[in-house]
Amino acid sequence: MALLSLLDHSLIGAADRVALEADAAGGATQSLTFGDLEARSNRLAVALAARGVTRGDRLAFLLANRVEIIDLWLACMKLGIIVVPINVLYQQREIAHIVGDAEPLAVVTTADRAADLPTGTPAWIVETLHEEAEAHTEITRARPAMVTATVCDADTPMALVYTSGTTGASKGAVLTHGNFAANALVLTADWGMRADDRLLNTLPLFHVHGLGNALHLWLLSGCHMKLTARFEASRAAEWFGAYAPTVFFGVPTMYVRLLDLAADTARAIGAHARLFVCGSAPLPAHVLEAFHERFGHVILERYGMTETLMNVSNPYHGERRAGTVGLPLSLTSVRIVDEQGADVPVGTSGELWVRGPNVCAGYWRRPEATAAAFADGWFRTGDIGVRAADGYITLEGRRSELIISGGFNIYPREIEELLMEQPGIREATVVGAPDPARGEVPVAYVVSDADIDAAALTALLRTQLASFKLPRAFVRVEALPRTALGKVQKHLLPPVS
């Protein structure tokens, strides 16, 4: 079945069930049924068509979590429009790259961010668009003809999600309706999502953890979701206490923050819950153990990528083994191979290659990058791992220099290039330094003519880079260690004091 027909079990089949509570303007909370979501997205589909968007067009959004992202996602799904999510933390330079590459008809955003779009790119203000949609009072839960006439199948592109892949330039992974359907079906089944679940989602909807997993598992299972604008550690006790979720999906940093909750609060949260899932970055074994002790639950760790959605997961019923990402999900095959692409034996490290209906169609308008990412139909993840005799996979690192901080990806190259554009900086290299809460944070090593004014440099970089990419320290060195061929030997850099 097509993606939309899967979700129809909730949108149409459970139309009167309360589906969602979400942060609304002015600190209020909004409550909607699945039928409300169906009607809102029908109206938005008509409003979008009136603005001239048609099948195959790209439409981007630059928004923090809010109900209108869900409306937009469903309306685009109904019309075959390709959604381009943009990280709301991105600054002009980062946004310009995505907009230039995806060429969306417009970017749906808020008035205060409109000025951050490249000149000539229409900003569609989210509130205006919503008002326009809601003015179509004649459109209700009955699907308008333009929706019923739109036929999408598993190969229809649903989204371009930008990722740096294993090399520096950010590329749009073409995720299809079939990719989202396969991911949602497998996880709903493998993690036992049920209509009586209560899912607290604090993950951003502009990345696949929130978008592919949380949003679709909610819509497919027909459970209830609480959507917050973002994760805020200071509000966790209030959210978990009042909402009493049965399911929570998070990145390791969120679990580290939750360990700060008082012991009795943690126990009470654990008593209501049935499942805590973690992914997007390595979950340290000691965090899993501390969480178990305080909340009474063994976190289920899984492994995914923007390009592949979810690949490997610890089992719901079997052993959730600390430090491992578990076993391949039901529709995904995983090989671990050496440099020549030959399978390595159990216990030997190699690169993970994956294949399945969850794997993207390739990179948007980049046939060379697509060709390089696949080998004989297998997607080369760039992640290094090892398989135990009983199949459990442990990730050991990455082939690339990717830094993951708080679950957000950082490519050193982007920061290095920006640093080298600054007057007085002759050379720069950026590496990830361990951080107890965020996993890793970027640190810059620079060769410069004068002392570095870290505060001034940070202030300058802040206007061009998302906050999570700002180096946490600048270390001035005489020279960067290099190989005979001139490549920087990052492992020989002095540790940050």
237 touches ligand MLC (CB under 6 A): no
Does the protein bind ligand AMP through residue 214 (CB under 6 A)? no
Question: Which residue has 């709301």 as its token pair?
Answer: 88
- Taking the least distance from each CB to ligand MLC, the nearer of 53 and 208 is 208
Is 230 near ligand MLC (CB under 6 A)?
Answer: yes
- Using CB atoms within 10 Å of the CB of residue 372, give its burial: 0 to 12 exposed, 13 to 18 middle, 19+ buried: middle
Nearer to ligand MLC, 86 or 254 (CB): 254
Q: Which is nearer to ligand AMP, 226 or 335 (CB)?
A: 335
Q: Tell me the DSSP string of 356-415.
A: STTS---BTT-HHHHHHHEETTEEEEEEEEEE-TTS-EEEEEESS--EEETTEEE-HHHH
Stretch that binds ligand MLC, among 208-216, 380-388, 410-418, 479-487 (CB under 6 A): 208-216
CB neighbour list of residue 408: distance below 8 Å, 6 or more residues apart: 87, 89, 207, 466, 468
The C-alpha atoms of residue 445 and residue 419 are separated, in whole angstroms, by 10
Indicate the residue among 34 and 231 with the shorter CB distance to ligand MLC. 231
**Of the residues 9, 55, 141, 257, which one makes contact with ligand MLC according to CB under 6 A:** 257
**Residue 398 interacting entry, from ligand AMP, ligand MLC, none, C-beta within 5 to 8 Å by type:** ligand AMP
Question: Which range touches ligand AMP (CB under 6 A), out of 70-78, 102-110, 299-307, 460-468?
Answer: 299-307
Amino acid making up residue 379: F
Contact 210, 310 (CB under 8 A): no
Window contacting ligand AMP (CB under 6 A); options: 92-100, 136-144, 275-283, 316-324:
275-283
Q: Does 163 bind ligand AMP (CB under 6 A)?
A: yes
Contact 30, 67 (CB under 8 A): yes
Q: Using CB distances below 5 to 8 A depending on partner kind, what does residue 292 bind out of ligand MLC, ligand AMP, none?
A: none
* Own/partner pairs, 126-129, CB within 8 angstroms, 24+ separation: 126/61, 126/63, 126/66, 126/68, 129/44, 129/47, 129/48, 129/68
User: Terminus-to-terminus CA distance in the chain, angstroms?
Assistant: 56
188 counts as binding ligand AMP under rule CB under 6 A: no
Site for ligand AMP contains 71 (CB under 6 A)? no
Q: Which residue is nearest to ligand AMP (CB)?
A: 306
Over the Cα atoms of the chain, what is R_g?
23
The closest of 493, 444, 447, 446 to 471, measured between CA atoms, is 444
- Answer with the entry of ligand MLC, ligand AMP, none that 395 interacts with (C-beta below 5 to 8 A by kind): ligand AMP
According to the binding rule CB under 6 A, does residue 398 interact with ligand AMP?
yes
Report residue 437 CA to chain centroid gap.
18
For the chain, the 3-state helix, strand and coil shares in percent, each to the nearest 5, are: 35, 25, 40
Residue number, 253 or 280, with CB nearest to ligand AMP: 280
Rounded to a whole number of angstroms, the minimum distance from the CB of residue 304 to ligand MLC is 3
Binding site for ligand AMP (CB under 6 A): 163, 279-282, 301, 303-306, 325, 381, 383, 395, 398, 404, 409
Q: Rule CB under 6 A: which residues touch ligand MLC?
A: 64, 88-89, 203-204, 207-210, 230-231, 233, 251, 253-254, 257, 279-280, 304-306, 406-408, 437-438, 467-468
